[in-house]
């Protein structure tokens, strides 16, 4: 009965909205994006009852069913290929257990390392067992081969069967190479594992630093010993036996065992096109992998376009509903609730869907895609990009929501992907009309463009972007900046990422209203968004 009343009221509201002129209709729709709506969605999705929304858990099912029900209530139609709300996503879960701890031996002695204090070790293939047996360790700088940048850290050296010690990030020797301080995909850990696999390496150890990663080592440690997730492995595609990160201190110790200084090796690597350096060190490590097959799903809702010429084109809004589930306790709490990351983004999606559904006209269709397994390597959006529910040429833009500003209103909004495509200009005009400013990513060295679901749309040529909360707070700026910074250093990917009474949704509301206008203007524009000429993704369109 409650659902019937709710949907009936929604229909009445939609009918009354249709009688308003465009400006009043937009204003009314924006009013549907408010603190009460956002807080209510976050409260449910980040509750302990969902157990952290881990992939393949009951919380996964509850979260995606909630998203589907709320999209339906908002006025969307089911958008999956079978006519339903869910796009099944096959998932392979792999939990790696260390059966032989990492030990390194060189001319200067032997050292045993402890996991996860010094390193992490997870599977890089679906094999039941994986090991490094007296494997030679080779320092390969950034582990990058980029011909267009005239940069090659491998220099033709055969690294098959070797364990590669690799620097995180990519070079920033000048503004002319590797986009200066802006991290490219070459700087992402996923690229380094992929490149090592292509070259037949036995494993990779990425050297963690807070500066290069953008988060503390505890975030890396949280992946050790827990189940990690993959899409089914492609037959014939190269893999590596073990994926590993190590602390900077552990990397220095390993280099010292071979008579090398890590700082000197890193300084040498920064010059570019330096040959790999065998450390004279061998390592032993063994892991046992427990595998299980499961199925999660993406949630797909559609608001059909009203223009006969443009309704078969889609503006896509993405947000991931998964988080880390139950893991290593922090105090008495082992539930990784993921309130900011990304219950808040899902709340934003649902509010935007509700507002957009109330508009009497939308020339293009809008596709709301709540994806699974983002925390496991952007798996849900990767699967959708490989198996879109409509022809990929019909996907004309993607905007992603991954965490809302819960610290207070700002004058600015950071736009991840600023300048890469024409969405930047549209967003800038909308923000300026509201006395706000769209700014480029303030931490370009972190490579945020490659770290959330919009990246998989860019990889198939769809102009994509990601809104990120600004830093210029309207009140108590120093205090609010401190609170925001503490989220990354203390609460990110920890059980303490929970909804709190002090959350200030005014900034989230303001940001989502700007995003709402961006979505609607993109849906109604005569021309579809385009990549900036020369951008790395332009050729894929």
Instruction: Kindly report, residue by residue over 431-452, the tens digit of the pLDDT.
Output: 999 999 999 999 888 889 999 9
Q: Is the pLDDT of residue 9 over 50?
A: no
Which phi and psi angles does 97 have, rounded to 5°? -120, 130
Return the pLDDT at 16. 46
Is the domain of 436 the same as that of 340? yes
pLDDT score of 324: 94
Q: Which pLDDT value is given to residue 379? A: 97
Question: What mean pLDDT, rounded, does the chain reach?
Answer: 94
Average pLDDT over residues 377-387: 97
pLDDT recorded at residue 17: 57
Chain segment 202-261, per-residue pLDDT in tens: 999 999 999 999 889 998 998 888 889 999 999 999 999 999 999 999 999 999 999 999
Instruction: Output the pLDDT for position 219.
Output: 87
At 2 the pLDDT is 36
Collapsing DSSP to helix, strand or coil, 323 comes out as coil
* pLDDT above 50 for 5: no
- Check residue 24 and give its pLDDT: 82
Decide which of 174 and 55 is more confident: 55
Pair (221, 302) in one structural domain = no
Structure confidence at residue 466 (pLDDT): 94
What's the pLDDT at 173? 73
pLDDT recorded at residue 348: 98
451 and 529 co-located in one domain: yes
Tokens of 105: 């031996």
Domain span holding position 143: 93-291
CA distance 533 to 271: 29
Residue 8 has pLDDT above 60, yes or no: no
Three-class HEC string of 278-303? EEEEEEEEEEEEEEEEEEEEEEEEEE
Cis peptide before 116 (omega within 30 of 0): yes
Of 24-28, 41-45, 145-149, the one with minimum mean pLDDT is 24-28
Asked whether residue 340 is domain-assigned, the answer is yes
Q: What is the CATH number of the domain that holds 411?
A: 3.40.630.10
pLDDT of residue 15: 47
Q: Are residues 220 and 270 in the same domain?
A: yes
Q: What three-state secondary structure class fits 424?
A: helix
φ, ψ dihedrals at 489, nearest 5°: -80, -25
Do 313 and 173 share a domain, yes or no?
no
Mean pLDDT of 503-509: 97
Q: Are residues 79 and 99 in the same domain?
A: no
Residue 172, burial from CB neighbour count under 10 angstroms (0-12, 13-18, 19+): middle
Q: Among 268, 291, 314, give the residue marking a domain's end.
A: 291
H-type alpha helices, 373-505: 379-386, 423-433, 454-458, 477-486
In a domain, 202, yes or no: yes
284-311: pLDDT as tens digits: 999 999 999 999 999 999 999 999 999 9
Gyration radius from the chain CA atoms: 24
- Residue 21 is predicted with a pLDDT of 65
Three-state SS at 263: helix
Tens digits of residue pLDDT in 453-484: 999 999 999 999 999 999 999 999 999 999 99
pLDDT of residue 106: 98
> How confident is the model over 261-278, as a mean pLDDT?
97
pLDDT tier, 6 (very low <50, low <70, confident <90, very high otherwise): very low
Task: Tell whether the model's pLDDT for residue 312 goes beyond 50.
Answer: yes
274 falls within a domain: yes
What band does 184 get if pLDDT is binned at 50, 70 and 90?
A: confident
* Predicted TM-score of the model (pTM): 0.89
Last residue of a domain, one of 291, 316, 340: 291
Residue 153 lies in a domain: yes
User: Residue 4 — very low, low, confident or very high, per pLDDT cuts 50/70/90?
Assistant: very low
Same domain, yes or no: 124 and 137: yes
- Cis peptide leading into residue 342 (ω within 30°): yes
pLDDT at 172: 80
* Separation of alpha carbons 435 and 412, rounded Å: 9
Q: Is the pLDDT of residue 12 over 50?
A: no
């Amino acid at each position: 009965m409650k659902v019937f009343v709710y949907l009936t009221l929604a229909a009445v509201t939609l009918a009354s909205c249709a009688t308003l002129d465009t400006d009043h209709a937009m204003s009314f729709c924006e009013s549907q994006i408010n603190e009460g709506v956002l807080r209510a969605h976050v409260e449910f999705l980040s509750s302990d009852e969902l157990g952290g929304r881990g992939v393949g858990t009951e919380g996964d099912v509850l979260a995606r069913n909630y998203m589907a029900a709320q999209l339906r209530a908002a006025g969307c139609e089911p958008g999956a290929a079978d006519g339903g709300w869910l796009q099944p996503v096959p998932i392979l879960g792999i939990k790696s257990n260390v059966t032989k701890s990492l030990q390194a031996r060189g001319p200067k002695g032997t050292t045993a390392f402890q996991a996860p204090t010094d390193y992490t070790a997870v599977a890089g293939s679906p094999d039941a067992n994986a090991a490094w047996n007296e494997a030679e360790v080779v320092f390969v700088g950034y582990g990058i081969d980029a011909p267009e940048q005239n940069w090659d850290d491998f220099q033709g050296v055969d690294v098959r069967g070797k364990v590669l010690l690799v620097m995180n990030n990519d070079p920033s020797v000048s503004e002319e190479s590797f986009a200066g301080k802006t991290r490219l995909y070459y700087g992402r850990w996923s690229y380094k594992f992929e490149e090592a696999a292509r070259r037949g390496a036995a494993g990779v150890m990425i050297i963690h630093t807070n500066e290069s990663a953008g988060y503390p080592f505890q975030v890396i440690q949280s992946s050790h010993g827990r189940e990690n997730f993959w899409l089914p492995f492609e037959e014939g595609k190269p893999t590596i036996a073990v994926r590993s990160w190590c602390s900077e201190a552990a990397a220095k110790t390993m280099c010292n065992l071979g008579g090398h200084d890590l700082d000197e090796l890193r300084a040498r690597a920064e010059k570019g096109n330096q040959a790999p350096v065998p450390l004279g060190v061998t390592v032993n490590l063994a892991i046992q992998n427990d595998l299980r097959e499961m199925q999660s799903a993406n949630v797909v809702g559609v608001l059909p376009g009203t223009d006969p010429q443009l309704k078969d084109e889609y503006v896509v809004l993405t947000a991931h509903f998964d988080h880390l589930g139950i893991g290593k306790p922090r105090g008495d709490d082992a539930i990784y609730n993921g309130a900011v990351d990304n219950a808040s983004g899902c709340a934003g999606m649902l509010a935007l869907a509700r507002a957009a559904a109330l508009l009497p006209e939308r020339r293009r269709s809008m596709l709301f895609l709540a994806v699974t397994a983002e925390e496991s390597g952007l798996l849900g959006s990767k699967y959708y990009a490989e198996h879109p529910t409509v022809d990929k040429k019909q996907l004309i833009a993607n905007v992603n929501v991954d965490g809302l500003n819960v610290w207070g209103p700002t004058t600015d909004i950071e736009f991840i992907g600023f300048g890469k495509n024409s969405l930047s200009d549209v967003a800038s005009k909308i923000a300026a009309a509201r006395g706000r400013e769209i700014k480029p990513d303030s931490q370009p060295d972190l490579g945020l463009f490659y770290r959330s679901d919009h990246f998989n749309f860019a990889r198939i040529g769809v102009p994509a972007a990601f809104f990120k909360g600004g830093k210029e707070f309207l009140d108590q700026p120093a205090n609010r900046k401190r609170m925001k910074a503490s989220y990354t250093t203390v609460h990110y990917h920890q059980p303490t990422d929970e909804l709190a009474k002090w959350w200030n949704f005014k900034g989230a509301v303001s940001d989502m209203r700007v995003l709402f206008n961006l979505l609607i203007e993109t849906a109604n524009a005569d021309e579809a968004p385009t990549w900036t000429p020369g951008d790395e993704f332009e050729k894929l369109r």
